[in-house]
Structure 1
Amino acid sequence: MLHTIDHELLRTFVAIVDHGGFTRAAQAVNRTQSAVSMQIKRLEEDVIQRPLFERQGRQMHLTSEGTTLLGYARRILALQGEALNMLREPDMVGRVRIGVPDDFVMRFLPGILKSFSQTWPLVDVEVQCAPSSELLGRQQGSLDLSIVTREVGQEIGTILRREETVWVVAESHPVHRQSPLPLALFEEPCFCRRHACNALTRAGRQYRIAYSSPSLATLQAVVGAGLAVSALMKSLVTPGMRTLDESDGLPPLPDGSIVLLRSPEATSPAVDGLAQHIVEGFRA
C-alpha cells in the first residue's frame, strides 16, 4: 500500500526549519511544543521511517533525508494552497503593481514577496523601482501601491515605520575628518539630503557633495570605498559601515518615515493582501 503524508505533518516540519526550532514552530502552527514533537516523531517513525533531524549540541540540523523531504514538502504545500485558492477563491488571481525605491528592495522586499506568494500564489506582482519623488507622481493610475519615504509630520498613507537618519562612513576609512567633508547623497529632491546639508550648515561644518546618485547601491559603494560620508536611514546601514554622531563632529539628523500609499482605484482583494503583507513585513 502506498503511504500518504498528512499535510499538517509537513506544515509542522517546514515550520521547524523556517523558525529554527520546536518552540518557535509550535507558536507558528498554534500547537504545544509536545504536540509538535509528537508530530515529528510520527513523521519520522511511521511515515518516512528515517530520522529527519540530528542534534549537534543545542543546534538541530536536517539529515540528508530531511533536506530531501524539505524540498518536496514546500512544493506539496504550495500546490495544495494554489489548488484551494483557485477552487474556493477564483478572485485570488490577477496582478498588483507596486512602486518602491531601490533603498528597500533588497532589505525588505524579498521577505514580503515570499510571504505574499505563499498566500496568493497566482497573483502576478509588477515591481517598479524609482525614487520616492517619482513614485508619488505615478500613484494615480499606473501603480496600486507605493512605498515611499517622508519627513516626520508630513506623512500621508499608512506609516510603516519611523527610523533614525544616521551619518555613515566606511569602518576603515576616517573620511569624516576631512575638510571640507565629502558627501555622497541621493539626488534632489530628497529630505535626507536636505537635512544633511542644513544640519552641517547650522553646525558651521564645511562640506562638498562629492557624489550624487538616485541609487542606494551607488552610495553604499562610494561609502564602502572610503570616498565619502553619507546620510541614510538606519535600516540601510550595511556591514563594513559604521555610524557617526556628535562625538565624531557631525550634528544629529531628524528621523524619517516609511509610508505605504494606495491608489484610490486599487480595490482588489489581491491589493488588500499585498498591502497587509507589506505592513507586517516592515513592522516585523
Structure 2
Amino acid sequence: MSTYQSLDAEVLRTFVAIAEQGGFTRAGEVVNRTQSAVSMQMKRLEEDVLQRQLFERDGRQVRLTAEGQVLLGYARRILKLHGEVFNTLRMPHMVGVVRIGTPDDYAMRFLPAILTSFASSYPLIQVEVHCEPSKQLMLRQDLDLTIITREPGAEVGQLLRQERLVWAAAKGFCPHEQRPIPLAMFNTDCFCRSWACNALEHQGVDYRIAYTSPSLAAIFAIVGAGLAVTAQLQSLIGDSLCILGEDQGLPQLPMANVMLLRNAQSHSPITDCMADYVIDGFR
C-alpha cells in the first residue's frame, strides 16, 4: 500500500491564512508566526510534502496556482473536521443556546446550509435566529452573534463577504416604460433601501416605494409578478428574475460588506464554534 507524508493541521492553517490574506507577512500576523517561519513552512509543504508549486509570487503579492486552489478547498475541509473532532471529544459538554441575529435575506440564502452542518455536529445546541434589519440588530445587546450589512468604509466586526448590490425585476419588465419606477424594498431601516433611493435620486430617476415588507420572500413574490423592481445582493437573485443595470437606465449600486459581530459579554466555546460555521458558510 502506498504511503504519503502527513499534512500537518498547523501548516494547513498557515496556508489558508496566506490564501485569505494575500501575503506571507499578513498571514504570519494571523497565525502568530514570523514571515520567515511562514516561508519555511510553505517551502517544506511545496517541495517535500506535495512536490507541487502552490503559489505564484508577484512582489509582495501572492496568488494561488491551480494546484494551490485545489489544496485550499481540501485544507478548509480538513481544518473544519479537525476542529469538530476536538470539539466533540474534548468538549462533550457542548450543550446550550446560541442566539444569532441576521437580516431576513441572509437567513434565506445562507443559514439553511450553515445550520444543517452545525446541527449534524452539535445536535444538543439550541439555535435561536432573530431576523431584523441591520440597523436594528446593531442596537441589540442580547445576541451572541450578529450578521449585518455595511457599506465600504463603515465596517465593524469581521468581514464575511463582499458583493455588489444589483437591480432585479421579472423577465420582460421594462423600467423605461415605468415612470416613476415602482420599487419593492425592505422597510425603512434597511441599508439597501437607502442606497437604492440615493442612487436613483443622484441620477435623477423618478421612483416610488410601491411595496414594503420585512420578508425577502414577499418582496421576491411581488417582483416576480412583474409589479416592481428591487435592489438586493447579487447572490440572492434567483433564476426566475433578471438583473438590470445601466443599459436599462438604472444607476450602478455600491458594494455591500457582510460583517459578523461577536458579543464579548457572551463569549463561549459554543459561540466560537458557531462563528466558525458562519464564516465558512458565507465564503
Q: TM-score, normalised by structure 1?
A: 0.67
Shift of 1:267: 1.6
Written as runs of structure 1 = structure 2, the 5 A alignment for 1:5-24 is none
2:211 & 2:167 partners in 1: Cα distance? 15
SS in 2 for 1:137: coil
SS in 2 for 1:199: helix
> What does residue 191 of structure 2 align with?
191
Q: Are the equivalent residues in 2 in contact too, given 1:168–1:231 (CA < 8 A)?
A: yes
Task: Say whether residues 1:238 and 2:242 are aligned partners.
Answer: no
**4+ runs deviating over 6 angstroms:** none
Residues 204 and 88 of structure 1: CA distance in aligned 2, closer, same or farther (over 3 Å): closer
Written as runs of structure 1 = structure 2, the 5 A alignment for 1:47-196 is 85=88, 88-138=90-140, 140=141, 142-175=142-175, 177-196=177-196
Shift of 1:205: 1.2
2:109 & 2:196 partners in 1: Cα distance? 23
1:270 & 1:127 partners in 2: Cα distance? 15
1:176 & 1:110 partners in 2: Cα distance? 37
Q: Are the equivalent residues in 1 in contact too, given 2:164–2:255 (CA < 8 A)?
A: yes
Q: CA RMSD in A?
A: 2.4
1:124 & 1:243 partners in 2: Cα distance? 38
SS in 1 for 2:148: strand
Q: Kindly name which structure, 1 or 2, has the bigger radius of gyration based on alpha carbons.
A: 1
Shift of 1:177: 2.9
> What does residue 32 of structure 2 align with?
none
Alignment-mate amino acid for residue 213 of structure 1:
S
Alignment-mate amino acid for residue 166 of structure 1:
V
Q: Are the equivalent residues in 2 in contact too, given 1:163–1:233 (CA < 8 A)?
A: yes
> What does residue 15 of structure 1 align with?
none
2:125 & 2:157 partners in 1: Cα distance? 24
| Structure 2 portions without partners, runs of 5+ | 1-69, 79-83
SS in 2 for 1:188: coil
Alignment-mate amino acid for residue 165 of structure 1:
L
Residues 183 and 176 of structure 1: CA distance in aligned 2, closer, same or farther (over 3 Å): farther
Shift of 1:91: 3.0
Q: Are the equivalent residues in 2 in contact too, given 1:95–1:126 (CA < 8 A)?
A: yes
Shift of 1:167: 0.6
Q: Are the equivalent residues in 2 in contact too, given 1:169–1:176 (CA < 8 A)?
A: no
Written as runs of structure 1 = structure 2, the 5 A alignment for 1:188-227 is 188-227=188-227
> What does residue 249 of structure 1 align with?
249
SS in 2 for 1:106: helix
Q: Are the equivalent residues in 2 in contact too, given 1:169–1:230 (CA < 8 A)?
A: yes
2:162 & 2:185 partners in 1: Cα distance? 20
Q: Are the equivalent residues in 1 in contact too, given 2:175–2:249 (CA < 8 A)?
A: no
1:198 & 1:101 partners in 2: Cα distance? 21
SS in 2 for 1:257: strand
Deviations along 1:12-48, one digit per CA (max 9) or x if unpaired, are: xxxxxxxxxxx99x95987xxxxxxxxxxxxxxxxxx
Alignment-mate amino acid for residue 89 of structure 1:
M
1:190 & 1:212 partners in 2: Cα distance? 11
2:176 & 2:265 partners in 1: Cα distance? 47
1:125 & 1:239 partners in 2: Cα distance? 30
Identity of aligned residues (%): 51
Number of aligned residues: 206
